[in-house]
Amino acid sequence: MSPTWVQLAYLVAALCFVLALKGLSTPRYARLGNLVGAAGMALAVVTAYAHGAVHNGPLILLAVAAGAVVGVPAARSVKMTAIPQMVALFNGVGGAAAALVALVEFVEVDGSALFDVATVLTVLIGAVSFSGSVVTFLKLQEVMTTRPVLLPAGRFVGAGVALLGLALAPAVVATSSVPLLVALFAVGLALGVLFVLPVGGADVPIAISLLNAFTGLAVAASGYVLGNTLLIVAGTLVGASGTILTRLMAQAMGRPLANILFGAFTAARATAAGGEQRTVRSGTVEDVAILLGYAHSVLVVPGYGLAVAQAQHAVRELAQLLEKRGIRVDYGIHPVAGRMPGHMNVLLAEADVPYENLKELDDVNPGMGSVDVALVVGANDVVNPGARDDPASPIYGMPIFEVDHAKAVVFMKRSMRPGFAGVDNGLLYHPKTTLLFGDAKDSLTKLLTAVKQL
């Protein structure tokens, strides 16, 4: 039984984790929530170390120092656009750590059957989370294709590997065999890869959220293996919040989670229209400045291109200039815009955009017909009419901002390349659409100057 002061310290740490999740539920308190959660984790680590509940203390301190030396500079140097990749890697490392700790405990401790069950769950789920997170990192970093990857007989291979894991798990519990547990770890690694490969495009952030929930479950199970109640609490919180977030994101995509994860196996392949030539209308900065400067209402729809260009401050300055001219400016924030949930909220918060100006789909779409200009900055899939109109589209059913119903559309893009989902966007060819090619920050800066001269 731990001393009272240890239990109280763990209780305070657990309360910090709960308050952190509460803070992270809103952009206004997200930073504070992060700090509270970090403080709770620091308290938990110091308490465990001071209580003498750890072994090989010098090695642990060395590992902590090494992690700080690598992690702090890496985190500070990561651009906003690469944070989803960093989150994927950190999540994967957490799953791997839980699995490896459980493996070591299994070798050193002759535990009960329930201990063996918890170990099996930790190893299997942690391995899936690690390898799956690595694949999501490779997709987000575009080291590999972002499109769904379908192996020959992939569904049967995946089912076979899953059945092998289900067979090995009870065998490990029955025999307490270390080689079988190592084999289960290898099966988990393979299953994680096979699980994520068919997920592509805009669905990758949902896979990251689900894998985050897996890591939470692995950590909770490892808490039982180690006899640490705080790990059970922390892992359960992460698992529950990750599951809720995954469900909310799937709802935002307008598709069941099973379809998002496994739909590539059954989706019909869309074929491009042979030889069809479609024209686009491109405009100059001066053309767009006139559209914006004499509008009554403007809706800005930001996307990943805004993040890449680091153009959030430029778009905010343009919006402020338009507002001084009596023009109403709102921002349409899609739940899956960018590469992670809340990506656009964080970017615009950096530029001090008022929270009340951030509008969701249900706030904007009913009145889209009264919007004079929809300014799409680096977004693509979240304004693609094919998600609404084309049953053959891979993103069909995903709710979108129906900017094609606005009186005019200005689409700011670097090129005619499709978005992250790899799907052509019919909005580019719409007669209402004016394309403004170039880097978003540069184009917005020029627009700012041109509007001033009106």
**Catalytic residue positions, numbered:** 381
Order the strands of the 433-437 sheet from edge to edge: 358-359, 328-332, 297-302, 373-377, 409-413, 433-437
Token pair 């140097």 in the structure block, residue:
77
Distances (CA, A) of 106 to 99, 186, 233: 11, 16, 22
Give 21-58 as a 3 state SS string.
HHHHCCHHHHHHHHHHHHHHHHHHHHHHHHHCCCCCHH
Q: What is the DSSP secondary structure assignment for residue 366, as one 8-state letter? A: G
Sign of CA dihedral 25, 29, 31, 33: negative
Helix and strand totals (H; E) in the chain: 17, 6
SS3 209: helix
Residues contacting 239, CB < 8 A, separation 6+: 213, 214, 215, 216, 217, 219, 220
Report yes or no: 382 and 331 within 8 Å, Cβ to Cβ.
no
> What gap in Å lies between CA 448 and CA 317, rounded to an integer?
7
Token pair 């952030």 in the structure block, residue:
205
The b/e string for 330-364 (b: 16+ C-beta within 10 A; e otherwise) is bbbbbbbbbbbbbbbbbbbbeeebeeebbbebeeb
Residue 417's nearest CA partner among 340, 308, 319 is: 308
> What gap in Å lies between CA 200 and CA 29, rounded to an integer?
32
- Output the CA torsion 60→63→68→74 (10° steps): -150
Which amino acid is present at 153? A
